[in-house]
Structure formats: structure tokens, C-alpha cells
Amino acid sequence: MQFHLNGYNPGDPRIIDPIDRIIPPPLKRPLPARCDVVIVGCGPAGLNLAAQLSQFSDIHTVITDLKDDRLTVGQADGMACRTLEMFQAYGFADQVIQEAYGVNEVAFWKPDPDDPSRIARNSKIDDVADDLSEMPHVIINQARIHDHFLSVMKNSAAKTEPYYSRKLIDVTINHSDPVYPVTVTFERAITHSQFNREVETINCKYAVGCDGARSQVRKSIGHKLVGDALNQAWGVMDILAVTDFPDIRLKAAIQSINEGNLLIIPREGGYMVRMYIELDKLKQDERVDRENMNVDVLIRAANRIMAPYTLDVKEVPWWSVYEIGQRLATAFDNSQKGGSPRVFLAGDACHTHSPKAGQGLNTSVMDTWNLGWKLAHVLIGRAPEALLSTYSAERSEVAKKLIDFDREWSKMFSTKPKTKDNPDGVDPAEFQKYFELFARFTAGVGIQYQSSSIVDEDTYQHLAAGQPIGQRFHSAPVIRHGDAKPVQLGHCHTANGAWRVYAFAGSDDPSSDSCRMRKLADFLANDPGSPVLKHTPDGADIDSVIDLRAVFQVPHRGLERTDVHSFLTPTKGRLGLKDYEKIFCVTDDNNIYEMRGIDKLDGCIVVVRPDQYVATVLPLTGQKELAAFFSGCLTSG
């Protein structure tokens, strides 16, 4: 899509008249006295959590924000491949991809060896490696992502909408109250007189601070952000400009000899560009002089770095300056004070870093993607409270690795390139090598969760070598048997809190009584030890907790529906209709068994958590192990 040609306008670009893009202001309404979960902050982390919880009509969620309305111009813009995989679970990934700028190549520029005062292109590389993900790396206004989350929330089972104009005052925990132990106090942000303060209090079961680097939730539970700064100032601006720089529509990293460095990120719409511009080094404990900073300073700096190319800026929809620093919260929840955690931190409230690696929003939404299903499980009685302790254990380790990476990346980006006159500088080739080395991490697909009640040991990993336990399920193309449609197997994951059990058939005849797939399906359907029967509540659809999907090695035209167990076409819903989308076959060109290292002789079971991470790999005959795994993390239905 192309837009912003005649200037920047926020909102849905599919709506031609910018006036028609304006959404009416939110209704003013009082906060309820009680709820299940209070989320403080309507940033990406908070909205993602609210969107997940809104899928459950029995969970009452309140989400608040200090602002008086939804975001219209966002700061974060890069959406990693892994984040798009999550968007797919909500159903809006295709809309994002259509509207966004797709990052396909990265250009690296360095001082021209023949004239170091000029820059010259050093190389171009692919931004995303082949088969890293079925999803691309894209650039889109953060506000548009907020709009999608808000739409999911509003149209969900719980019909959740934010409460704006609320300033958080305090969060306290009363351990003597077993039901609503958390008290959250707000002040209406529209009140100004200290003699007429409008204070509102909510009692809830859990509270989550998604309220940014200055988080009041974090302060209320006695935690701090600790870390250091690099004493480096950077400017950032979104611009509509005319330039002779040849790679203006590519992601480009530019290292100049004396004028600093610059990162170009093309924006959606075909015309707008974001630039991260290195400014002067800061002295110890010095802060950016914001009073004397203006966008003209950034434009002049960009022109110096890009010489001999020029930049004629026509419009600046947004700009800012910031100081680089990496900080991590002393804890991600309140559990160190005893008992199960009741208050959690997510996003910038528990980790901050530079924006150039594009990990701020992406890591933040993955925090709450991890937390959301766990909260839902506990609240609806699907899992014990102990499950909630895995949030901090898993996500704090991810944040530490991110900060280590960001520290090194920022240092390299802020260091002068290596030349004859500057032998201690960064070799542009090493800079590019580091970029490629951490491609999986920046794409969001390199996360590895450690063993726990929801991440099993790797005893049977060899049966699915390309689906590492503790990493995200790596999708691949298959043919859906019911309608012969080519699909991505990973797109079976939706944000409904269900576990997926993928059963990959071995070399058995699917129609034979000795077929291991048939025996597995019969066990899950009829055996008293079946985890499906044990953990599915009475009256719920049979796949609402554990959703079995089967993949066969035979071509889809060689498999008859009568060849497979009836449990793979379950009856569901009020009318008892059959679900014909549980069975898949391999494709002719990209065989999922070969792509993901699935044992063709024996097949296997791959259990995937509601947040799309592989929990365990088991043999097709591992019915007892499958039941034992679910007994270790779920309650009876």
C-alpha cells in the first residue's frame, strides 16, 4: 500500500478522508469496585494482555491509562517475525502485512576508502534468513497495532475497553484477603484541585504493571530498574523527504568517518522514513539538553553523516531525542515477599534498552503473551497458582540476554569505523557479521525457555529435531485434508488459551488397526487416563483445553476420511457440528517431515503451549508420558 503522499495522517490508511479516520472519544465511566485483573498501561504490552484475557467471558479485566484517549502516533515501529506469528493467532497479521513496509534487505555503508569524507555502500544482505519464519519483518506505526488490539478486545467474548484518564497512585497487597488481595488506587487525571481529588479504588485478584520505564506499579512493590547508560545521545525522526541517497527505501546502517552513525528504517506507505541519528557523546551523568534541541539539529546531523548525499526534509510528523541505557528490574513480580505472585511487571516497566535493535515493542508483547494464558489458566481453574511463577523465571532470562545483546550492539553502532587513522575502531565487516550472528534473536525466534513444569526434558527430541523443546513451534506448509487447502500448520494456533498436540504419523498404514496414530486418537477419546477427558470441563468443546491435530505422510488425495479415527473429526458447539480442520497431509514441494526433522519411520507427538512454544516431544506410543505431562501442569476439568 502507498499513502502519506500529501502529508502524514494517522489512522487506517484504507479510509481515504483523514477526517473519517477519527474515532469518537471514549466514554467516561467509573471504575468497578472489583475485578479479576487490573492492567496499568495501554501500551503494546498492556493491550496484548487485555486482548488475551478478553477471549474469556468469565474473566473480568480492567485496563487503564493516564492518557485521555487511544494512541494516534506511536514511537515503536519494527515488528519482528515472531511478533507477526503472534498477530496471526489473533487474526490480524494479514492486515498488518498488507499495510506495513516489509524489510527485505539491509544495506551497510561505510567511509569510502578513496575519500573517507564520503560514504560508500559496503554490502547488502537479506534481512531475514530463508525459512526463519513464514512471517516477514515489517515496519508499521505502533498506533495501528494498538488499534488492532483494541478491536480484538472490543469484539471479544468479554467486550473489554480501556478506562482512560487514570493516574495510578498505589498498589498494595493484603495477604489476609484470599480472593481479592490486591488494592489498586487511581486518581482521575481530569481533576486538578488538591482539595477536590477524585480517587477510585479497585480490589482485584492480580495486577500487572505495563506502565513504562517510570512504572508506578514497580515502585509500589518495591522494585527498581538497575543498569547503566552508555553516555550516548541519539535523535530519531519520521520524515517525508526528497533525497539522492540511493538506498532510502532499504533498511540501511551508515557509518561515517567523523560525523557519527545513522540508521535508516523506511516506513509504511512508500514515502515516509525513520532515521536514528547519532548525536554528541555525553559526559558522565550528563543529560540531553532538550531545551536547545530541535528537529533542525537532527536534520543537519543527518546531512553531515550522509555526505555527499543530501536530505531535503519536507515534513516531520514526529521526532524525539533519547539517551541510550540498558536497565533491568530487580524482579518481575512481587513473589519475593512470600506466597504466589499477585503483581507482575511487563515491558518497559521491567527492562529498557536502545530502540535500534527493534526489540522494545517486540519483547514487551512477548512478556504479556507469556503471562496472559497463564493468568487465564489460573483464573478459570485450569491450572494451579504455581504456574504463575514460571512467568518471571522465563521472561527475566530473556530480558537479560536482550540487554547483553543491546549493550554490545549499541556500543558497536556508536563507535567510529576502523580506518588507517583510527585502528581501534569497529571494522565494518565485523559490524555486519554481528548483525547476521544475532539475526535469530532480533527476529524473536531465538528464545529458549528452560526446563520446568511446562517445558519438558529433551528425552525424545530426536523424533522432532527441528522443533526444539522450549523454543517456539516452527511452522511449515501442509495441506488441510478436509478442503485440500495449502496452509501453515502453525496457524492452527489461535489466542484462545488451548494447548495444541500435533501428532505426526509414522510409516504405518493409516487405515490399519495397528496404526499408532489411530491408537493415540482412541486413547485420547476413550481411555479413562486420557488427558483430554481429564482436563476438559463438563459441557466444554472437546478441543477447548487440548486440541489434537494430525499430520500424515501420504498425499491428501490418498487419504480417505474413513481411514482415520473419528476423534479427528470431533463434534462441537451447540448444534454438534463436525470439525473437518484437524487433519493435514504433507505437500509435494516442502515436506514438513524433512523441513522440521520429524522421524518418518516412527513419527512423534509435539505438544505446544498456548503461547506457541514447544512443551515436549514424545513418541506416538507415549500415551502415559503425555498424560503425566498434562497432570503436572493442569488441574482436572
Name the 3-class secondary structure at 83: helix
Neighbouring residues of 315: CB distance < 8 A, sequence distance ≥ 6: 7, 8, 239, 240
Catalytic residue among 218, 267, 327, 596: 267
Asked whether the beta carbons of 413 and 333 are under 8 A apart, the reply is no
Task: Examine residue 308 and say whether the peptide bond preceding it is cis (omega within 30 degrees of 0).
Answer: yes
| Residue whose grid cell is 504405518 | 508
Question: What does DSSP assign to residue 136?
Answer: P
**Cα 620 to Cα 521: distance, rounded to the nearest angstrom:** 10
Residue 228 is among the residues annotated as catalytic for this protein: no
One of 13, 266, 317, 355 is an active-site residue; which one? 355
Q: Max CA-CA distance within the chain?
A: 80
Catalytic-labelled residue, pool 65, 77, 333, 543: 77
Query: 575 burial class (0-12, 13-18, 19+ CB within 10 angstroms)?
Result: exposed
Q: 128, 138 in Cβ contact below 8 A?
A: no
Query: Of these residues, 101, 271, 276, 449, which one is catalytic?
Result: 276
| Residue 635 near residue 384, CB atoms below 8 Å | yes
Specify whether 472 is catalytic: no
Residue ranges of alpha helices (H) inside 176-255 are 216-220
Quote the CA–CA distance of 229 and 424 in Å, as a whole number: 22
- List CB contacts of 176: < 8 A, sequence separation 6 or more: none
d(CA 153, CA 143): 15
Q: What is the CA radius of gyration of the chain?
A: 26
Determine the residue type at 584: F
* DSSP H helices in 134-291: 142-154, 216-220
Other beta carbons less than 10 A from residue 129's beta carbon: 14
Among 358, 212, 269, residue whose Cα is nearest residue 10? 269
Q: Do 81 and 65 meet the contact criterion of CB atoms below 8 Å apart?
A: no
CA distance linking residue 162 with residue 149, whole number of Å: 11
DSSP per residue, 409-442: HHHHHTSPBP-SS-TTSB-HHHHHHHHHHTHHHH
Cell for 523?
486413547
Asked about 309 being catalytic, the answer comes back as: no
What is the amino acid identity at position 593? Y
Whether 267 is catalytic: yes
> How far is Cα of residue 241 from the mean position of the Cα atoms in its chain?
31
3-state secondary structure of 260: coil
What distance in Å separates the CA atoms of residue 353 and residue 403, rounded to the nearest whole number? 7
Residues involved in catalysis: 77, 267, 276, 355
